[in-house]
Structure 1
Amino acid sequence: MLRTRLLPIALAASVVVPTLATTGAAQAAVKNPQADAAMRKGIRDVARLEGNGAKAANIRIACVAVPKVNDKKPCSGSFDLVKDGKTAHYVLTKKARTFRISARAIEYRVSAKATKKVQGLPAATDLAGFLQ
């Protein structure tokens, strides 16, 4: 009898406790994200996801600020991806941009083409994501 009452309570506690713990982490988000920071995060995501664990290096970008919600502005510049001691150089295309979707979130689009290609790294990339 005691076991049948404790099991549902234990299951409920295992669901509620992680939920309460993650709400504190969600409040630790970026309060005022910037366009350059969003694009840098996007480049690191490209390295991790499309570069199969490559490292981003020599990130030289310039993004126009997006101060208001629904602002969409371009970014320009270049970056390198390094994997197994080999380096591929990428230049952002005119599709690269940032878009402020709310006061505390910016969407990035990393669209780049390799000028120096390396086997195992993509020749071009087009990845979108969020910084919030």
Structure 2
Amino acid sequence: MSATTYTIDDLQAHKSRESLYMLISGKVYDVTQFLDEHPGGDEVLLEEGGRDATEAFEDVGHSDEARDMLPKMLLGPFDGPTKVAKAAGATTASSGGSTGGDYKFLLPVAVLVAWLAYRFLVAA
């Protein structure tokens, strides 16, 4: 592993099928060689390429085997903000992303559970 530190500009320069970098948990990985082997298909990787893919990686719940593959693809540590600067006058999000947005899927699940409970109680 080299002592090179990577930035968002480095990530942005490598977001194609020919050279694909992504940031996961503060480290930059070159996943180019893994495109054809990824069980979810190369589209998933290409969509997350060139940016912070930590949330997408963790949301999928990768196996220990998948996590064990990461060191082989490690390029080095990341330094700097994880968001690309927006045009002048536009607001930028902090690197923390959206507050509470990680639980958006719970609302439809809660509605479904409430409906099922209602149906069960009415049928009883």
Q: Which has the higher contact order (CA 8 A, sep 6+)?
A: 2
Q: Which has the larger radius of gyration?
A: 1
Considering fraction of residues, name the structure with more helix. 2
Considering fraction of residues, name the structure with more strand. 1
Q: TM-score range by the shorter chain?
A: under 0.3
| Alignment TM-score, normalising by the size of structure 1 | 0.20
